[in-house]
Structure 1
Amino acid sequence: MAAPSTPVLNDSTAASAAIGASAMRKATQRLIPLIALGYGAAYMDRVNISFASLQMNRDLHFSSTVYGFGAGLFFLSYAACEIPSNLLLYRFGARRWLARIMVTWGILAMAMLFVRTPWQFYTARFFLGVAEAGFFPGVIFYLTQWFPQELRARAISRFYISLPLSFVFMGLIAGALLNLDGNLGLRGWQWLFLVEGIPPILLGIAFLYLLPDGPQQAKWLTEDERAWIIHHVHNDPSLSGQRSHNLSAALLDPRVWQLGLFMMLMLGSSYAYTFVAPDVIQRATHLSTSKVGYLVAALSLLGAAAMLLNGIYSDRVQRRTPHSNYPRYMHIIPWAFLISVGFFACGLSTNPINVIISIGTVIIAYNAMQGPLWSLPGSFFQGRSAAAGIATLNMIGMIGGFLGPYFVGFAKDLTGDYQRGLLLMSIPMLLGALIMFYLRAETRLRSPTLSPENPVPSSQ
C-alpha cells in the first residue's frame, strides 16, 4: 500500500467540490456498511462471554478471578500482535489481511464451546486475541486512506457504530441462545459461542471479494473521484511537515504514547463494565436473562445515537480549523469526565434505577467520544508510519482491556460484588481527561493557525 502518485485535478472549485461529494458518498456506501458488519462481529465475539458467563461460570465452577483473568487475557495477546499485524496489512493489502483475520478468529470463537477447565479457557482467549489482533487498528488505518481529516470523525463513527449495535444484537439474541440449553447435548453458553462464531467467517469471504485495497483499486470510482481522494488524503500540501512517513518517528512520537495511555485508561474502564454489566444489572434488578439482554440492547441504542451525533458535530466544528486537531479534544474531554461520574454513581448505589442510569451514562459517554478520538492518529502520520503508529497506541490501549476485567473480577472475590471495583474505575477516566487537556494544550502550541493572533472561535 505505497503512497500513490499525485494525479492532475480539475481546477474548478465548484467542480472539485461536486467530485469530492460524489467520491465520499461512494466510499461511504461501499465501504462503511461492510466494515461495520466486520467490526460488529469482532466485538460480539470478543465480549459475548459477558452473557455466556451467566451460565458458564456456574457450569464450569469458575471464580470471578478466573473469569476476569480469562476475559482480559485476550487483550494481552491482542496487544502483543498489534504492530506486526498492521505492518503485514500494509504489506499485503487490507482486503487479504482483514479477510484472513476474520476467518481465523471466527473459527477460534466457535472453538470456545470446547472449554472445560480454567487453563483451556485461558488458552482459548489468548489465541482468540492473537487471531483478531490488528483488525481494529487496520480498519482505522484503512479509513485514513479514504477520508480527509475534516470528514474522518463522521466516517469512523459510522463504522464504529457497530460497537454499540453489536451489543444491541447480542442483547436481543443472547437470551434465546442461552435458552437452547440442553439441545443436541450442548449447554446454552456453548450455543452462544457456536452461533456467534459463524458471521465473521462469512464476512471474511465477503471482504476478500468486495473490499478494495485502496482508492487506486476501487473500480467503482471515476478517475476524477480517485484523483480527488488521493489529493485530499495523501497529498494535501497544507499538512506537509505536520505528518511523518518515518516508521521510527511513529514509534517514538510522544503523542502516540500519550494517546495510547489515554486509551489504556479508557479501555480498562470500558471492558471493566462490559464484561460484568449483565451480571450487575441482573443482581440489581432480578430480571431474567432475556430481559437483561433487552435492557442492555436499549442502552446500547442510546450509545449508538450519541456516537453518530457527536461524530457529526465534531466534524462540523473541525471544518472551521481544518488543519488542526485542537477542536477534537473538546469533543472527548467532557465525555471522559461523564464516564467517571457514571462509575462513581454505580459503585455507590444498589437501587435498580440508579444502577441502570449509571451504566447507561457510561455506555453513552464511551460511545460518544469514539469518532473524534480515532480521527486524531491519522493526522500525525502517513503510510507505513501511520499503520505502525495506530497499531502502537491501540497496543498500549489494549493492556487496559486486560487490567480492567481482571481487577473487577478480583475485587468481586474480595468484596462479594462487582460494584466496589466499578467505584474505583472512576479514577482512570479522570486521569484520562487530564491527558487530553495536556494534548490539547500541546496542539495549540504546535499549530500556527491557533496562535494568540488567530484563536479558536469562542463557539467551539
Structure 2
Amino acid sequence: MQTVPASGAPPLAAPTDRPLTALLFRKLMPLLVLSYVISFLDRTNIALAKTHIAVDLNISAAAYGLGAGLFFLSYAFLEIPSNLIMHRVGARFWITRIMVTWGLLSAGMAFVQGETSFYIMRVLLGAAEAGLFPGVMLYLTYWFGREDRARAVGYFLLGVCIANIVSGPLGGALLAMDGIWGFKGWQWMFVLEGLPAVFLAAVVWKKLPDGPDSAPWLTPAQAQAVRTRLAAEAADASTGKAGHSFLGAMRDPQVWLAIFIYFCHQISIYTVIFFLPGIIGTYGKLTPVEIGLLNSLPWIAAAIGAAWLPRHANTPGRGRRLLCLGLAVMAGGLLIAAFAGPVMALVGFSLTALMFFVVQSIVFLFPSSRLKGVALAGGLALINTCGLIGGFIGQSVMGLIEQATGSTRNGLIIMAALLLVACAVAPALRQGQER
C-alpha cells in the first residue's frame, strides 16, 4: 500500500534528488525505447513494401490502405482489455507476451499470398501488439511524477523516430535481397525485422521490473522516495470527478477532450508514416535505398523535437501553450507539403514531424493527472484506442483519395484542417484540480 498524505497537506516535491531521477531514466528508458523501435519497424515496414507487394500480390492502393488500417482496428479494439490485464498481472509479464506474439506474426507477414491473407495478418498483428503504447504510458506513471513524465514520454517516443530513421536504409537494404534463396526482398524484410522482437522479449522478462519495489537497482530509501511522490499526486487525482473506476474516467469531459485532440493528431501522424515513402517515390526515379534515406529526414526532425521540447511542459500552462504551438506547426507543415515542390514538401513534412511527439507526449499528461488505479489504466487505453481509430480512418481515406485522384494533396489538406480544429480546443485542457 502506498502512503497518502493527510487531506489538506501540501503536495510533496517530486524526487528532486536529480541523481535518483537520472537513475530512473538510465535504467528504464533504453530498454523501453528499444522495444518501441522494433515495434514500429514491424508496424510500419509495410509502407516500404507497398509498391513491391502491389506488383507481386496484385494489391491495389485502396486495398493497401484498408489493410494497413486494419492493424489499427484490431489494435484499438483490444487496447482497453490489454491495459486492464497489465494493471492486474504486471508490466514485465504482459509486455513480454506482447513482444513475443507481435514478433512472430510480423515475421509471418512474409507468407501473405493476396488481399485476404494480407487483411488477416494485419488484423492479427494489431491484436498481438495491442496495449504496448498505453501499457508503457501506464508503466511510466509507476515511476515518474508530472514534472518528469512528459520528458519520459518524449524519450520513449524517440523509438518511433529512430525506427523511421533506420527503417528506410535498413528496409531498402533488405528489399535488395530479392531473389536470395528464392525469397522476395519484402519477405526477407518482414522476417529479419520481426524476429528481433522475440529475442528482445527475453531481455524484457529478465530486466524490466514491475515497479519501484521490485527494482534491484533501487535502495529501499530510493524506492520510498518514488512512492511518496506518486502517492501525493494520486491523492490530488483522487479528489477529481473521474474517481477510480473506468466508468468514472469515461464521465470526465477532460478525457474526451484529450481523446478528440489525440484522434486528430493520430490521423495525421499515421498518414505521414504510411504514405510518405510513396509520396517521395513520385519525386523522380529513385531507388528503394534513396527513398528510404529521404524518408528518414522528417524523422530526424521528429527525434530532435521529442528529445528537446517535451521537458519544457513542466507546468500546466506551459504544456497547453506548447501543445497549441505543436498542433499549429503540424498543420502548417502539411499545407506546405500539399502545395510545394519536392524539396519544400520535404521541409513541410519535417516541420510537421518536428512536433509529432511533442504533442503526443503532452496530451497524455492531462488525463493521467486526473485519474488513478483502474481509471488510469482504462482511461489511457481509451485515449489510445480512439487515436488508433483515427489512424485507421486516416489511412483508409488517404488510400481512397489517392486511388480516386492520383494525388494525396486533398488528403493532406483535410489532415491540416483537423489539426487546426484540435489547436482551437486545446486551451480548454486542465491538469489535476486545475480550474
TM-score by length of 2: 0.93
1:409 aligns with 2:409: no
Over 3 Å counting, the alpha-carbon distance change for 1:376 and 1:19 in structure 2 is closer
Query: Which moved further from structure 2: 230-239 or 387-396?
Result: 230-239
Structure 1 stretches of 4+ moved >6 Å? 16-19
Q: Which digits, 9 at most, give the CA deviation of each residue in 1:162-197, with x for residues without a partner?
A: 111110111221110010011111111111111110
Query: Which moved further from structure 2: 365-374 or 169-178?
Result: 365-374
1:362 aligns with 2:352: yes
Give the gaps of 5 or more residues in structure 2: 6-12
Distance of 1:235 and 1:355 partners within structure 2: 47
Aligned to 1:326: 317
Deviation at 1:415, TM superposition (A): 0.4
Aligned to 1:322: none
Deviation at 1:379, TM superposition (A): 0.6
Letter of the 1:149 counterpart: R
Q: Which digits, 9 at most, give the CA deviation of each residue in 1:80-127, with x for residues without a partner?
A: 001100000011000000100010000010110111111111110011
Q: State whether residues 312 and 318 of structure 2, in contact with CA within 8 Å, keep that contact through their aligned partners in structure 1.
A: no
Q: Which digits, 9 at most, give the CA deviation of each residue in 1:251-290, with x for residues without a partner?
A: 3222212211211111111111211101101212432210
Distance of 1:159 and 1:424 partners within structure 2: 29
Q: Which digits, 9 at most, give the CA deviation of each residue in 1:62-89, with x for residues without a partner?
A: 1110000000011111110011000000
Deviation at 1:335, TM superposition (A): 1.3
1:219 aligns with 2:234: no
1:229 aligns with 2:247: no
1:438 aligns with 2:428: yes
Deviation at 1:239, TM superposition (A): 5.1
Q: Which digits, 9 at most, give the CA deviation of each residue in 1:121-170, with x for residues without a partner?
A: 11100111100000000000000110011111111111111111110111
Distance of 2:219 and 2:370 partners within structure 1: 29
Q: State whether residues 52 and 186 of structure 2, in contact with CA within 8 Å, keep that contact through their aligned partners in structure 1.
A: yes
Please give the residue correspondences for 1:243-392 in structure 2 after superposition, counting only pairs within 5 Å.
244-315=243-314, 318=315, 325-349=316-340, 351-392=341-382
Please give the residue correspondences for 1:93-132 in structure 2 after superposition, counting only pairs within 5 Å.
93-132=90-129
Q: Which digits, 9 at most, give the CA deviation of each residue in 1:18-46, with x for residues without a partner?
A: 88323322211111000111111111111
Q: State whether residues 313 and 362 of structure 2, in contact with CA within 8 Å, keep that contact through their aligned partners in structure 1.
A: yes
Aligned to 1:26: 23
Letter of the 1:269 counterpart: S
Distance of 1:55 and 1:122 partners within structure 2: 16
Aligned to 2:8: none
Aligned to 2:131: 134
Distance of 1:439 and 1:56 partners within structure 2: 43
Aligned to 1:398: 388
Letter of the 2:142 counterpart: Q
Counterpart of 1:111 in 2: which secondary structure? helix
Distance of 1:290 and 1:344 partners within structure 2: 27
Deviation at 1:17, TM superposition (A): 8.1
Counterpart of 1:212 in 2: which secondary structure? coil
Letter of the 1:268 counterpart: I
Deviation at 1:367, TM superposition (A): 2.7
Counterpart of 1:219 in 2: which secondary structure? coil
Q: State whether residues 37 and 162 of structure 1, in contact with CA within 8 Å, keep that contact through their aligned partners in structure 2.
A: yes
Letter of the 1:43 counterpart: F
Distance of 2:321 and 2:32 partners within structure 1: 27
Over 3 Å counting, the alpha-carbon distance change for 1:327 and 1:107 in structure 2 is same
Deviation at 1:339, TM superposition (A): 1.4
Letter of the 1:388 counterpart: G
Aligned to 1:241: 239
Distance of 2:407 and 2:56 partners within structure 1: 20
Aligned mate of 1:159, from 142, 151, 156: 156
Aligned to 2:69: 72
Distance of 2:89 and 2:238 partners within structure 1: 27
Deviation at 1:235, TM superposition (A): 3.2
Query: Which moved further from structure 2: 85-94 or 53-62?
Result: 53-62
Letter of the 1:241 counterpart: T
Aligned to 1:61: 58
Deviation at 1:59, TM superposition (A): 1.6
Aligned to 1:91: 88
Q: State whether residues 153 and 371 of structure 1, in contact with CA within 8 Å, keep that contact through their aligned partners in structure 2.
A: yes
Please give the residue correspondences for 1:174-185 in structure 2 after superposition, counting only pairs within 5 Å.
174-185=171-182
Give the gaps of 5 or more residues in structure 1: 9-15, 319-324, 449-460
Aligned to 2:9: none
Aligned-pair RMSD on alpha carbons? Answer: 1.9
Distance of 2:159 and 2:427 partners within structure 1: 28
Q: Which digits, 9 at most, give the CA deviation of each residue in 1:199-235, with x for residues without a partner?
A: 2111111111111111111121111111110010123
Q: State whether residues 7 and 230 of structure 1, in contact with CA within 8 Å, keep that contact through their aligned partners in structure 2.
A: no
1:447 aligns with 2:420: no
Distance of 1:18 and 1:340 partners within structure 2: 37
Deviation at 1:7, TM superposition (A): 9.1
Letter of the 2:381 counterpart: A
Over 3 Å counting, the alpha-carbon distance change for 1:92 and 1:273 in structure 2 is same
Counterpart of 2:429 in 1: which secondary structure? helix
Over 3 Å counting, the alpha-carbon distance change for 1:250 and 1:7 in structure 2 is closer
Q: State whether residues 310 and 371 of structure 1, in contact with CA within 8 Å, keep that contact through their aligned partners in structure 2.
A: no
Letter of the 1:447 counterpart: E
Letter of the 2:349 counterpart: I
Letter of the 1:89 counterpart: M
How many pairs are equivalent?
Answer: 426
Query: Which moved further from structure 2: 181-190 or 252-261?
Result: 252-261
Q: State whether residues 73 and 122 of structure 1, in contact with CA within 8 Å, keep that contact through their aligned partners in structure 2.
A: yes
Deviation at 1:356, TM superposition (A): 1.1
Distance of 1:193 and 1:133 partners within structure 2: 19
Deviation at 1:420, TM superposition (A): 2.8
Query: Alignment identity in percent?
Result: 33
